[in-house]
């Protein structure tokens, strides 16, 4: 995150926190549809980290 940077803040640390890649074959499991199309996450949204435990 901070390689080669002159300055960084606490927010930079949070920007890479919980960016877990989702396998391409599993992206359909967490897609969402709007009036403009269907979209799938490439990285796991923060709220899904412990989704299995909540259900």
In sign, the C-alpha dihedral spanning 8, 12, 20, 40 is: negative
Beta-carbon neighbour count of residue 29 at 10 Å? 11
Note the pLDDT tens digit of each residue in 6-18: 665 655 555 555 5
pLDDT of residue 37: 92
Q: What is the mean pLDDT of the chain?
A: 70
What tokens appear for 10 in the block? 């606490």
Q: Can you give the pTM of this predicted structure?
A: 0.44
Question: In the chain, what are the domain boundaries?
Answer: 20-46
CA distance 9 to 25: 35
């Amino acid at each position: 995150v901070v390689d080669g940077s002159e300055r960084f803040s606490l927010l930079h640390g949070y920007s890479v926190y919980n960016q877990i890649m989702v396998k391409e074959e599993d992206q359909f499991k967490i897609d969402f549809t709007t009036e403009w199309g269907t979209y799938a996450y490439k990285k796991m949204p923060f709220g899904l980290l412990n989704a299995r435990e909540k259900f």
